[in-house]
Structure 1
Amino acid sequence: MIDELRPMLQANGAQGELDRRVLQESVDALEKIGAFRVTQPKRYGGFQGTSQDHVDVARAVGRGDGGTAWITALHNMAGWLTALMPTQAQDEVWGEDPNTRVTVVLSTSGKTRRVTGGYMVSGEWGYASGSLHAGWSFLGAELVDEEGNFDDTAQLLVPASDLTLKDTWYVAGMRSSGSNTWVAEDIFVPDHRVMRGTPALGGEYPGTTEDTPNVYRAGWIPWLNVILVGAQLGIGRAVLDKVLDGASRPIAYTNFAHKSDSIA
């Protein structure tokens, strides 16, 4: 189905770079076929897909447009992280709208203060790809205890309504990814939306139960690194498509009837 959308994704790509955001037509079309729900649990209507499924989807989108592929990959990455959280947190994200998209910035730049039932959080998180189309975000932070001493690193699941978005994404390429900066000013994050780093690195996730599917038991760091390759593979294939498309055309001001005839 993504292959059928490729002409539209390609046509919208240039405008997306100018607008510095993926066109809504592209987002709506991908949402309709479930491209942002590859890693979402089946109980919310998602595909509960594997890392290979994730790579395949991002690669197919990337063949149409790189910026769109990048946010697709990041939304599905964040969807997998959301599935590692307690059911209460997952329900808050997907309970009312299963199409809700999540972003993720792993950098632990957030500062916290321990309070009853959770943490007060402040900070800025740049490179938030997909932030323009997201309802929630994972944001990295350093946790402290009641005395203010360092306790652990963590990923905090925060609704976009608690954040402001700073327009910082002014770059030469991949402008449509909308990788702007989230800002939090003394917001409350409850304990059930906190994923501690040390247990997670050891494969212990806050939402794991005896019934948790194997796809949500994978190693955290290896999984997050592998799945990003899909968008890059798709972009590479798009470049190859461009080269092959031009290979049969003549070279201006030469005797070569086809570019492929030239050794240059």
Structure 2
Amino acid sequence: MVHEVVRRVEELGDRLRKVADETERLGRLSDESVRVVREAGVMRMLQPTDFGGYAAHPRDFAEAVMAVAKNCGSTGWVCGVGGVHPWEMALMDRRLQQEVWGENPDTWIASPYAPQGVAVPTDGGYVLRGRWNFSSGTDHCDWIFLGAAVGNPDGSPAQPFRAMHVVLPRADYTIVEDSWDVIGLSGTGSKDVVVDGAFIPEYRTIDSEEVAAGQAGDRADTVYRLPFWAMFPLGITAAVIGIAEGALAAHLDYQRNRVTAMGTAIKDDPYVLYAISEAATEIAASRTQLLDGISRLYDKVDAGQTVSFEDRAVVRRNQTRCAWRAVAAVDEIFARSGGNAVRRNNPMQRFWRDAHVGLQHAIHTPGGIYHATALTQLGIEPQGALRALI
């Protein structure tokens, strides 16, 4: 059954598609894009029901992100990243949840999670300083998750290293306005943010290892007992696959009545038709494998079983491969779209650029993930950096 939010996105898709170029020019989501996302309810899919959300199955969330990204890659990316933040907020202290959603359940939360700042312990909490890159959709958010290393009194990271996720209101951080000038996913507005000595109460922090293992929070819903490194990559890779689906749709629209400079109608060119079918199959396989991975983890947690490190690694391996497979398929059809595909008025080139920039995210780096997963399947427990992002 199609989730009601997915159905609404599909109904509103034309509105997103019409303003996709405007979103790219602005370097942030257009006002219309934000209205569509709010109207459809995408950002509330993983939000707890007692704060106006759906507490949806993560498979449904991923399908909603794909449906958005198929029409506008940047908007889909912001939904894929920002849509996971309500899931983590559900693991936090109830006081914080009330602060964020008590007056407005449609409040959006930004990130990033990389520990690019240091939180120095003080009475009742921490003092935070740092600068973070890639805060997607940050212009439209009133709160933010930030990764932070626990620090020494002199501001250096303490040893052994320990990371937290901390939460700040908009008044406690600065958005660096000129920090997002890129070749793809331009409309995500993934700007830098700076924090200079903000106080973080203890209840606005959470241990990143507990979140990664699916051991944080006290909610009974199955979705809130899943590991972070299954949930966070899910939204991002769903956006990339949705972008690939958008590229395929744009390619089909463009090629339907096209005749090459040599006078050959595309419908009579067996090589282009072969590429279309192969790309369509690869993109569909990517979608299926991504949804299967998160569904298997969900079913395991729902049955009261323990999710092992190997379980997490296999899902991450497959999720990473899904992204690369889908983008490779986009390359195949783009290469057969002719010179006019690179014109700014052809949406193919925007989807192509967005897809490749989506691969640049750290969660799509295959080396360490593939290495660690192979070790686990040989019965060897990965150590140190090989456990990162899994």
Please report the TM-score for the alignment, with normalisation by the length of structure 2.
Answer: 0.64
What is the aligned partner in structure 2 of residue 196 from structure 1? 207
Q: Which position in structure 2 is the counterpart of 1:142?
A: 149
Higher relative contact order (CA 8 A, sep 6+): 1
Q: Flag the structure with higher helix content.
A: 2
2:82 maps to a residue whose letter is H
Residue 204 of structure 1 and its aligned partner are, at CA, apart by 2.3
Give the match for residue 120 of structure 1. 127
What displacement does 1:163 show?
0.7
The C-alpha deviation readout for 1:204-229, integer Å capped at 9, x for no partner, is 21x32xx5311101112122222322
* 8 Å contact kept, 1:105–1:127: yes
| Structure 2: distance between partners of 1:45 and 1:200 | 23
The SS at the match of 1:251 is coil
After superposition, the Cα gap between the structure-2 partners of 1:202 and 1:63, relative to the gap in structure 1 and judged at 3 Å, is closer
For residues 250 and 39 of structure 1, the distance between their equivalents in structure 2, rounded to whole angstroms, comes to 42
Is it true that 1:49 corresponds to 2:59 in the alignment? no
> For 1:204 and 1:49, how far apart are their aligned partners in 2?
19
The Cα shift of 1:252 comes to 4.7
Task: Tell me the distance in 2 between the aligned counterparts of 1:260 and 1:182.
Answer: 50
Deviation at 1:239, TM superposition (A): 0.7
Are residue 174 (structure 1) and residue 185 (structure 2) matched? yes
Tell me the secondary structure at the aligned position of residue 17 of structure 2.
helix
Match of 1:249? 257
- CA shift at 1:250, angstroms? 3.1
SS at match of 1:48: coil
Percent identity of the aligned residues? 27
1:152 to 162, 165, 168: 162
1:125 Cα deviation after fit:
0.7
**Map of 1:28 onto structure 2:** 35
Measured in 1, the distance between the counterparts of 2:136 and 2:81 equals: 7
In the TM superposition, what is the alpha-carbon distance from 1:147 to its structure 2 partner?
8.7
Amino acid at match of 2:51: Y
Classify 1:184/1:6 alpha carbon distance in 2 versus 1 (closer, same or farther; 3 Å): same
- Alignment partners' CA distance in 2, 1:250 and 1:131: 40
Greater shift after overlay, 46-55 or 194-203? 194-203
Deviates more, 1:245-254 or 1:15-24: 245-254
Q: Which residue of 2 aligns with 1:164?
A: 174
Please tell me whether the aligned partners of residues 81 and 232 of structure 2 are also in contact (alpha carbons under 8 angstroms): no
Residue 218 of structure 1: aligned partner:
226
Which is further off, 194-203 or 233-242? 194-203
1:128-179 superposed Cα distances (whole Å, 9 cap, x missing partner) = 1110111111000001367974462101011122111002010011110000
Deviation at 1:79, TM superposition (A): 1.2
Q: Distance in 1 between matches of 2:255 and 2:32?
A: 31
CA-CA distance at 1:10 after TM superposition: 1.0
Amino acid at match of 1:128: S
- Maintained 8 Å contact 2:75/2:188: yes
Alignment partners' CA distance in 1, 2:197 and 2:91 = 25
Amino acid across the alignment from 1:62: A
Q: Is the contact made by 2:15 and 2:36 (CA closer than 8 Å) also made in structure 1?
A: no
Q: In 1, distance between residues paired with 2:261 and 2:118?
A: 62
Whichever structure has more strand as a proportion of its residues is 1
Residues 57-116 of structure 1 deviation map (CA, whole Å, 9 limit, x = unaligned): 100001110000000111111111111101111111111111000112110011121111
Q: How many residue pairs align between the two structures?
A: 260
Answer yes or no: is the 8 Å Cα contact 1:246–1:259 preserved in 2: no
Match of 1:132, SS? helix
What is the rounded CA distance, in whole Å, between the counterparts of 2:210 and 2:107 in structure 1? 27
Which secondary structure state, in structure 1, belongs to the residue aligned with residue 112 of structure 2?
strand
**Structure 2 runs not aligned, ≥5 long:** 1-7, 273-390
2:315 corresponds to which residue? none
Separation (CA, whole Å) in 2 of partners of 1:58 and 1:259: 31
Aligned to 2:104, what secondary structure does the other structure show? coil
Q: Aligned partners of 1:59 and 1:102: how far apart in 2?
A: 20
Q: Is the 8 A contact 2:131 2:195 kept in 1?
A: yes
Deviation at residue 247 of structure 1 after TM alignment: 2.6
Shift in alpha-carbon separation, 1:253–1:21, aligned structure 2, 3 A = same
Gaps of 5+ in 1: none
Shift of the 186–254 alpha-carbon distance from structure 1 to 2, 3 Å rule, reads same
Question: Deviations for 1:225-261, whole angstroms, at most 9, x for unmatched residues?
Answer: 22322111110111110111123213154332x3131
